[in-house]
Amino acid sequence: MKRKVRGLLVFLTALSFWSIPNLAFALYRDDGDEPGEQLSGATIALVFVGGPVAIGLITTLLVLAPGWFRKNARDFSSLTPQDPIFMKDDSGRKSISS
């Protein structure tokens, strides 16, 4: 067990020595890139929070809206016994045919 912990410690130490200098060189602009202006916090929130929320709301609206305007297919409250959908079964009772 001690060997594994010691090996892990050596590995992490070596990894930190190799990665820290690379992070320091990220500040130097010698490879020709020209970064633009920084985005404000409000712009970041609008793009990364507001955008997905808006897409979700639009999708929800597109899925649910047809049901709001379509007459319910199972709403039999407006039917009368004279309508052709009502039929008498063998027992003489009126039932709704499907």
Domain residue limits, the chain: 1-25
Alpha helices in 25-94 (DSSP H): 41-45, 51-69
> Residue 27: its pLDDT value, please?
66
Question: pLDDT value at position 2?
Answer: 82
Secondary structure letter of residue 25 according to DSSP? G
58 vs 51: CA distance, rounded Å: 11
Give the tens place of pLDDT for each residue, 38-95: 889 899 999 999 999 999 999 999 999 888 877 666 666 666 666 666 555 555 555 5
Flag whether the pTM goes above 0.75.
no
User: What pLDDT does 92 receive?
Assistant: 54
94 by DSSP, 3-state: which? strand
Predicted confidence at residue 60, as pLDDT, reads 95
- Which of the two residues, 47 and 18, has the higher pLDDT score? 47
The structure tokens listed for 54 are 């808006």
pLDDT for 39 equals 84
Distance CA 48, CA 42 (A): 10
pLDDT one-digit tens code per residue, 21-30: 666 666 666 6
Residue 88 and residue 94 in contact, taking contact as beta carbons nearer than 8 Å: yes
Structure tokens at 27: 């500040």
